[in-house]
Protein backbone atom coordinates (compact mmCIF):
# COMPACT_ATOMS: atom_id res chain seq x y z
CA UNK A 1 0.00 0.00 0.00
CA UNK A 2 1.58 3.33 -1.01
CA UNK A 3 2.31 5.97 1.58
CA UNK A 4 -0.17 8.46 0.08
CA UNK A 5 -3.06 6.07 0.91
CA UNK A 6 -2.15 6.32 4.57
CA UNK A 7 -2.08 10.10 4.28
CA UNK A 8 -5.56 10.18 2.71
CA UNK A 9 -6.92 7.74 5.29
CA UNK A 10 -5.55 9.94 8.07
CA UNK A 11 -7.16 13.02 6.51
CA UNK A 12 -10.46 11.18 6.24
CA UNK A 13 -10.33 10.20 9.93
CA UNK A 14 -9.37 13.71 11.02
CA UNK A 15 -12.15 15.24 8.92
CA UNK A 16 -14.66 12.85 10.48
CA UNK A 17 -13.43 13.73 13.97
CA UNK A 18 -13.72 17.44 13.23
CA UNK A 19 -17.26 17.06 11.89
CA UNK A 20 -18.26 14.98 14.93
CA UNK A 21 -16.76 17.60 17.26
CA UNK A 22 -18.58 20.46 15.53
CA UNK A 23 -21.90 18.62 15.61
CA UNK A 24 -21.45 17.89 19.31
CA UNK A 25 -20.61 21.53 20.05
CA UNK A 26 -23.64 22.68 18.04
CA UNK A 27 -25.91 20.36 20.04
CA UNK A 28 -24.48 21.59 23.36
CA UNK A 29 -24.81 25.23 22.29
CA UNK A 30 -28.39 24.67 21.17
CA UNK A 31 -29.22 23.00 24.49
CA UNK A 32 -27.67 25.91 26.43
CA UNK A 33 -29.66 28.46 24.42
CA UNK A 34 -32.90 26.57 25.06
CA UNK A 35 -32.08 26.29 28.78
CA UNK A 36 -31.38 30.04 29.06
CA UNK A 37 -34.62 30.86 27.25
CA UNK A 38 -36.55 28.58 29.61
CA UNK A 39 -34.90 30.21 32.63
CA UNK A 40 -35.77 33.70 31.36
CA UNK A 41 -39.35 32.66 30.70
CA UNK A 42 -39.63 31.16 34.18
CA UNK A 43 -38.26 34.34 35.76
CA UNK A 44 -40.63 36.51 33.75
CA UNK A 45 -43.57 34.35 34.76
CA UNK A 46 -42.55 34.20 38.43
CA UNK A 47 -42.19 37.96 38.84
CA UNK A 48 -44.57 39.78 36.51
CA UNK A 49 -43.89 43.46 36.07
CA UNK A 50 -46.34 45.95 37.47
CA UNK A 51 -47.17 48.86 35.24
CA UNK A 52 -48.25 52.03 36.99
CA UNK A 53 -51.03 54.09 35.49
CA UNK A 54 -49.93 57.21 33.66
CA UNK A 55 -51.56 59.45 36.28
CA UNK A 56 -49.45 57.97 39.09
CA UNK A 57 -46.29 58.53 37.10
CA UNK A 58 -47.31 62.11 36.33
CA UNK A 59 -48.02 62.75 40.03
CA UNK A 60 -44.60 61.37 41.00
CA UNK A 61 -42.89 63.64 38.49
CA UNK A 62 -44.85 66.67 39.71
CA UNK A 63 -43.91 66.03 43.35
| Claim: this prediction has a pTM higher than 0.95 | no
Q: Is the pLDDT of residue 1 over 60?
A: no
Mean pLDDT of the chain: 84
Rounded average pLDDT over 57-63: 66
The string of DSSP letters for 1-57 reads --HHHHHHHHHHHHHHHHHHHHHHHHHHHHHHHHHHHHHHHHHHHHSPPP---HHHH
pLDDT for the residue 5: 81
pLDDT digits 0-9 by tens, 40-55: 999 888 876 666 566 6
Give pLDDT, residue 46: 80
Amino acid sequence: MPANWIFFAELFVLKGALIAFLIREWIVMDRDIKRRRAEKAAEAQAAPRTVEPATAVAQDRAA
